[in-house]
């Protein structure tokens, strides 16, 4: 498997595991230092919070990659399969549009905050770097949804459990 395919297949999973593991280690270190050694590590709590924010956005992209976001399935159930497929594409295109707008506006906000030079209290980290997850996360969501559209037309898309169940019921 080529490097590009590995990155495509495991990017979000790898980042989520790293961020979550780092959060656990930082939180454990904070608890140990505070209650065992009576020393407070202010930076660890702040960094853990930043990792959590990044984890949320990367996890949203991971859910989009695996088509696990909450969605209204009434259209899929009421319309014939050929029409519901196009309704799904329209829904995905609207989602890509929304995610692209948020990514663009998020980039503008992050750059504005970078321009102001706002620093985090404990680590003195540019807060704009924390805000960069908004454009990065939403651009990744848009990319994964677009990949899902392409895969759907190639017939390669991964069926959700609900879709598998619905098809089994329809065939019975």
**Per-residue pLDDT, 69:** 82
pLDDT for the residue 18: 97
Print the SS3 string covering the chain: CCHHHHHHHHHHHHHHHHHHHHHHHHHHHHHHHHHCCCCCCHHHHHHHHHHHHHHHHHHHHHHHHCCCCCCCCHHHHHCCHHHHHHHHHHHHHHHHHHHHHHHHHHHHHHHHHHHHCCECCCCCCEHHHHHCHHHHHHHHHHHHHHHHHHHHHHCCCCCCHHHHHHHHHHHC
pLDDT, position 157: 59
Question: What is the full per-residue pLDDT of the chain (172 aa) written as tens digits?
Answer: 788 888 888 999 999 999 999 999 999 999 999 888 888 888 999 999 999 999 999 999 999 998 888 776 777 778 887 788 888 889 899 999 999 999 999 999 999 999 999 999 999 999 999 999 999 999 999 999 999 999 888 876 555 666 666 766 766 6
The answer to whether 38 touches 6, Cβ cutoff 8 Å, is no
Q: What is the pLDDT of residue 42?
A: 82
pTM of the full structure: 0.84
Give the integer Cα–Cα distance in Å for 168 and 172. Answer: 6
pLDDT at 121: 93
The domain containing residue 151 runs over which residues?
3-171
First to last CA, the chain: 38
Q: CB of 60 within 8 A of CB of 81? A: no
Domain count of the chain? 1
């Amino acid at each position: 498997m080529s490097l590009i395919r590995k990155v495509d297949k495991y990017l979000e999973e790898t980042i989520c595991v790293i961020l979550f593991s780092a959060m656990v280690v930082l939180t454990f270190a904070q608890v140990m230092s505070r209650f065992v050694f009576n020393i407070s590590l202010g930076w660890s709590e702040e960094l853990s919070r930043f990792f959590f924010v990044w984890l949320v956005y990367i996890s949203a992209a991971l859910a989009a990659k695996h088509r696990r976001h909450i969605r209204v399935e009434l259209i899929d159930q009421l319309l014939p399969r050929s029409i519901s497929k196009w309704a799904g594409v329209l829904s995905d295109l609207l989602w890509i549009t929304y995610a692209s707008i948020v990514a663009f506006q998020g980039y503008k906000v992050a750059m504005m905050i970078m321009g102001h030079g706002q620093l985090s209290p404990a680590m003195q980290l540019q807060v704009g770097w924390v805000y960069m997850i908004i454009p990065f996360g939403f651009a990744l969501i848009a990319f994964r949804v677009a990949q899902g559209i392409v895969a759907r037309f190639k017939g390669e898309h991964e069926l959700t459990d609900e879709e598998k169940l619905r098809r089994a019921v329809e065939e019975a």
